[in-house]
Amino acid sequence: MTIANDTSIYSSAAPGAFRKMIRKATRRLGRLVNNWIAALIAQREYQAQLILLRSLTDRELRDIGLDRCQAGEGLAEAAQARSRCQQSKKAD
């Protein structure tokens, strides 16, 4: 005689909790990928801007208030300011 057992970890109560767990994990993975892509884009923008600043003449750099030795430092400060601004917008 065989007894059929209907209970399993995927019973009627479990699918809702399982789906919720999957959605939560998917959102986390999505945020992780999004943050990674945003960091990659930011790094590429930084590199492009640094190349552009290095291509300027000393006179053009003085016109915007930078010396040649400050080009990378100025970009880093601008990036930090932009990051702070974006973080404050997310908090609102």
Tell me the C-alpha to C-alpha distance, in Å, between residue 1 and each of 5, 6, 7, 16: 13, 16, 18, 34
Report whether 79 contacts 42 (CB < 8 A): yes
pLDDT under 70 in the chain at which residues?
A: 1-15, 92
pTM for the complete prediction?
Answer: 0.57
Q: Please report, as a single letter, which amino acid is at residue 89.
A: K
Structure-token pair, residue 70: 């400050």
In degrees, rounded to 5, the angle at the alpha carbon of residue 38 between the alpha carbons of residues 35 and 39 is 85
Q: Please report, as a single letter, which amino acid is at residue 50.
A: L
Taking only the tens place, the pLDDT of each residue in 55-65 is 999 899 889 88
pLDDT of residue 24: 93
